[in-house]
Structure 1
């Protein structure tokens, strides 16, 4: 470790290379090793490993940081290091620097084995013990489970049996879990029970990469740092809220993962429910993790599905159509899907938040694949002004005021309001726009960089706890059960914005979906 590094608190170090005035991720992790299970999978290859290099490249990892891969491949340490090198060259966000790579490569190790191989986990324990002795990783070990949830119990049990889950005095052991967090409420509870039998809840980090995005974190800053918004952030002024995550890609090549899961389990239960919680929660006493989690749990406890479900929910499955000037096939013709698959690629639900702030305000959540464009946004649509002293023709083109938080891809905030057209008293919608790219010279850290660093720092603010996961399933399960009993999802043409039932869902109440 560099003698210039200054210890702050347990597991945290001040980076001497950074300007003291620079408040962007100013802490670096203390000595540690990260073990990646599933290191040959797409998630590890395209996201996790490149993010680790980018953190090192930005001076946010200690010089002795060590990376251990665990998998079936017939690799030695050098072969694994060569593989990591290629992933870094192909997928890292920051420029390649040989001196950074050389330092990272010194700590690369590989352990060959399967999840049911006791000897492989014994070799893993020996490898980590040697890294502690040779590189000073201090017994601080993070275990990243970039594997299917069905393998979590086996890996957790093996880590326990090998003595790897319990830290020694002054060190830490943490486990990182990727979604989906279960298949329904019962499976989520069972999964939480298995994981918590090995790792205490404070050592479990469930990654929802959306919570690592700067625009998602900016919801809190925008709401609670500005007196401008808080007085109108309630049912007195807000008519309804729309939360959308739309993708323009299909599922080619992902049939094995997606079939039987569907859009609601894949996106609504985690990403969109977390966005709802941040949008609807009350102001926390502080941004301490426990205070944030308390407020999210309180609001999720107040959320319920609006009824009747045949009118307040919609699900669909994309059919063939045109997208981006190219004719694309429907889901049932994608590789890996059976011709009678009932897996939905579009899901929309109506939620009620039974609190004083939000009573009577519907929250509409929707997600889908092969939609009109790739976009994620939160839109607060406001009630119309109670009195308009204009002729009807003057406001023909005036819509409702809206505050739109653009999560991706054009990160920023848009405020839509009415303005007079020059030379007349006609009123039209105009936009006041804030863009991250235009307002700040600093480049936002990638979501996985932020979240992995928080794991190493033991900072759990951006990670949902098991109670949040279970509450989200409690809300969604009745819709999943209802859909399972009522046949196939409605078809919609690729490149459109979902099935007709989704539009009818809002039109019944005199509302319309936004078209981003």
Structure 2
């Protein structure tokens, strides 16, 4: 095994052709900006430990924290330790922790401090010598997008964006990918002006969830489903991401962003693309992204905005046994804020497969329960050779992909009720990941961080997908900016009345998950 192959991340103990073996990252390190934030503490640091605990990180893996704190390396190590103890998915192992923590380093500084980035460059070079990271480093910008330009400029200035020989440098950025189309394009110019496009990984953690990936398996591995996955049989599709909590302490981020920018523009449109896309030639990044981009380029808002879209804002009241405050009473929310906490829209996909099939998307906070699902609702049978009374409780056939919680798939169909009468009612067949497999599903960030270190990009949207999504949502956001405040809805309800009216106009109704 040549040094070049090792430096390039090729694991000499693994046959790269054997897809059944777990993928293990080669020599590398990760530089984490924003180590003091909730995302780093609750998700990123625990995910790194869980990868190490599963044996998927190299022995010399290194983690560098960068923040405006007067910490030594051991202080940073304690921060990671506390985060892992509290939030890791896998059991704590002293041996794993000891080996992992030997690669921890901390660089104090601010984003406008050239000396701090010079020290960061020296630290990265030291890790290459001491830990054998081989010049392979990923930079995770878990920071507000307003700082991206400054950090990228500093990384370029001190030579950290340029890889030598077979080594690599990659950058990871979190949503939001801009505030609108124009800002998304500007953000893309900044990041891709420093890192090559293939080295930019945009994190959408929903795409790392097992059930989202299983959607592709359900569609393309089963002859049972794909023949009816089209306008000939499908009546409509509902995609829901609901939360039963408010914004908590996130007013600084959420106020001025809102549900449409926070969820609909990225998570829900990505789920729509995976649901509606054609079969890719392969599951390589280029082919998968190409099919998603075709779908997004064919998506349009299906009519007059006031008739096919709704926005809402939760008020105070009772949610279950708890009395909760309204959005405008949350700490940090501006007086009279018009930020929506609920958004719904009817879309259509102008392709032969989906012509005339509406896709209803909704997301919101303080709704009836926490759930994310894709519900494919089928047309009723063209002829029912039964008495009307036998089928009055019969609904539509449906395939429901549950993304969270209780990941799985439910199939709803009609069946005879036991007894002497011919009564037909809906029944369900349920597949749950927790019941069907002994393996625990990895947390989404585990999968995505490992994919970055492996240079495996299929689950990461390119800037073309991001811009296509903004082209869909931007006109609606501009319309809402010109109209009044969002319609109010009570906590525990499923959004404002205007959201239900979208489907009622079509003779349909939202599913109750």
TM-score (norm 2): 0.97
Q: Distance in 1 between matches of 2:432 and 2:204?
A: 24
Please state if 1:349 is matched with 2:371. no
Query: Do 1:246 and 1:367's aligned partners in 2 also have CA atoms closer than 8 Å?
Result: yes
3-state SS, counterpart of residue 24 of structure 2: strand
Q: Distance in 2 between matches of 1:285 and 1:398?
A: 39
Q: What are the superposed Cα offsets for residues 222-247 of structure 1, whole Å, 9 maximum, x if unpaired? A: 00000000110000000000000000
Q: What are the superposed Cα offsets for residues 132-183 of structure 1, whole Å, 9 maximum, x if unpaired? A: 0111111101000000011111101110111100111110000000000000
Compute the displacement of 1:339 (Å): 2.9
Q: Counterpart of 1:487?
A: 484
**Superposition pairs of residues 187-202 of structure 1, within 5 angstroms:** 187-202=183-198
3-state SS, counterpart of residue 429 of structure 2: strand
Q: Counterpart of 1:374?
A: 370
Match of 1:459 among 444, 453, 456: 456
Q: Counterpart of 1:294?
A: 290
Match of 1:500 among 484, 492, 497: 497
* Structure 1 segments (4+ residues) deviating >2 Å: 4-18, 20-24
Q: Counterpart of 1:359?
A: 355
Q: Distance in 2 between matches of 1:164 and 1:39?
A: 19
Compute the displacement of 1:313 (Å): 0.2
Please state if 1:76 is matched with 2:72. yes
Q: 1:388 to 1:6 in 2, by over 3 A?
A: farther
Compute the displacement of 1:254 (Å): 1.1
Match of 2:225 among 208, 229, 233: 229
Query: Do 1:12 and 1:28's aligned partners in 2 also have CA atoms closer than 8 Å?
Result: no
Q: What are the superposed Cα offsets for residues 188-230 of structure 1, whole Å, 9 maximum, x if unpaired? A: 0000011000001100000000000000000110000000001
Query: Do 2:312 and 2:495's aligned partners in 1 also have CA atoms closer than 8 Å?
Result: yes
Please state if 1:145 is matched with 2:141. yes
3-state SS, counterpart of residue 29 of structure 1: coil
Query: Do 1:35 and 1:142's aligned partners in 2 also have CA atoms closer than 8 Å?
Result: yes
Query: Do 1:175 and 1:203's aligned partners in 2 also have CA atoms closer than 8 Å?
Result: yes
Q: Counterpart of 1:318?
A: 314
Q: Distance in 2 between matches of 1:12 and 1:74?
A: 34
Q: Distance in 2 between matches of 1:311 and 1:118?
A: 53
Compute the displacement of 1:292 (Å): 0.3
Q: Counterpart of 2:507?
A: 510
Q: Distance in 2 between matches of 1:87 and 1:442?
A: 24
**Superposition pairs of residues 36-435 of structure 1, within 5 angstroms:** 36-423=32-419, 424-435=421-432
Query: Do 2:42 and 2:83's aligned partners in 1 also have CA atoms closer than 8 Å?
Result: yes
Q: Distance in 2 between matches of 1:241 and 1:353?
A: 11
Q: Distance in 2 between matches of 1:363 and 1:15?
A: 47
What are structure 2's unaligned runs of at least 5 residues?
Answer: none
Q: 1:210 to 1:333 in 2, by over 3 A?
A: same
Compute the displacement of 1:12 (Å): 4.1
Q: 1:497 to 1:410 in 2, by over 3 A?
A: same
Compute the displacement of 1:23 (Å): 3.0
Query: Do 2:7 and 2:135's aligned partners in 1 also have CA atoms closer than 8 Å?
Result: no
Query: Do 2:30 and 2:139's aligned partners in 1 also have CA atoms closer than 8 Å?
Result: yes
TM-score (norm 1): 0.97
Query: Do 2:9 and 2:28's aligned partners in 1 also have CA atoms closer than 8 Å?
Result: no
3-state SS, counterpart of residue 221 of structure 1: helix
Compute the displacement of 1:284 (Å): 0.4
Query: Do 1:321 and 1:327's aligned partners in 2 also have CA atoms closer than 8 Å?
Result: yes
Q: Distance in 2 between matches of 1:54 and 1:198?
A: 31
How large is the RMSD of aligned CA atoms in angstroms? 1.8
